[in-house]
Amino acid sequence: MKTSLLQILLLFSTLTFPLIRAQATEPLRLRVLSYNIHHGAGVDGQLDLERIAKVILAVKPDLVALQEVDQKTSRSQKIDQPAELARLTKMHVAFGANIEFQGGHYGNAILSRFPIAHQQNHLLPNVDDGEQRGVLAAEISIPQANASLRLLATHFDHRTADKERVLSAQTVNALVEKDARPALLMGDLNDVVASETLNLLTIAWSRTNAQPLPTVPVDEPVRQIDFILFRPRQHWKVIETRVLDEAVASDHRAIFSVLEFRPGQASQE
């Protein structure tokens, strides 16, 4: 008996469809980096954004959170640093201005290999007239996973007293309290593992490294104050976390993670 063309097509689809569906639901590995760039000024006194871009590109990141970013300030030669870093890295960019400074603005930035669907900058609590801090929240669309995630980039207060950092941690947690979407939090938190700041954050977030990985001082790091965190836990698997060896381009070392993103996992939060 001759097999009809329709029967052949049905047989082919039966054999191949499970494979196609399995491939579509495989976890996607994301390469993420957090870097306090000290407005591009290195410990050698040189203002060099191209050098910062080379540090970023060295790990081929998908998502980057940057702190201490200038936008058209006098000290940075009136360069729009977020736009210039986007050009140098060929990535999408979002910028959150926290203060007006030297004729321009100063704050946090996000670079993304994926489209940035939405962005919003949230000012953090300010205690005793300190430097105004903020958290830049962006929705990142990831076509390969048919999903999106939230990326929060921040830089907490640096002063010895932790009152403002504690309030900032509470504010960040409140931003995601009723949102079960996959999210990353990256930045210079100016506090260490086991501090009240980190203890509060880890109520809602998980760190990518269980043991401290020092990021400052840049020449011989002894404290980790730069972190990558994620939530909810079931959407992520940590593959690798390390601190980059580069010790000249900024006064911080960058922290880098490879994470498996599992958007299809059922949320438990």
pLDDT digits (tens, 9 = 90+) for 125-174: 999 999 999 999 999 999 999 999 999 999 999 999 999 999 999 999 99
CB-based burial label for 22 (10 Å; 0-12, 13-18, 19+): exposed
pLDDT score of 221: 98
Q: What is the mean pLDDT of residues 204-225?
A: 98
Q: Where do the domains of the chain lie?
A: 32-261
Quote the CA–CA distance of 126 and 124 in Å, as a whole number: 6
Distances (CA, A) of 182 to 103, 140, 150, 233, 247: 37, 10, 6, 9, 32
Q: What is the mean pLDDT of residues 84-96?
A: 98
Does residue 217 carry a pLDDT above 90? yes
| % pLDDT > 90, the chain | 87
CB neighbours of 229 closer than 8 A, spacing ≥ 6? 184, 185, 186, 201, 202, 205, 206, 207, 208
pLDDT tens-place string over residues 236-253? 999 999 999 999 999 999
pLDDT score of 21: 38
pLDDT tens-place string over residues 165-180? 999 999 999 999 999 9
Does residue 19 carry a pLDDT above 50? no
Confidence of residue 83 (pLDDT cuts 50, 70, 90): very high
Does residue 268 carry a pLDDT above 90? no
Confidence of residue 9 (pLDDT cuts 50, 70, 90): very low
Average pLDDT over the chain reads 92
> Looking at the chain, how many residues does it have?
269
pLDDT score of 14: 47
What's the pTM?
0.90
pLDDT score of 25: 53
Quote the CA–CA distance of 78 and 51 in Å, as a whole number: 18
pLDDT tens-place string over residues 23-55? 445 689 999 999 999 999 999 999 999 999 999
Secondary structure class of 112 (helix, strand, coil) = strand
Q: 32-261: what CATH class? A: alpha beta
Q: Which of 51, 26, 30 is nearest to 40 (CA)?
A: 51
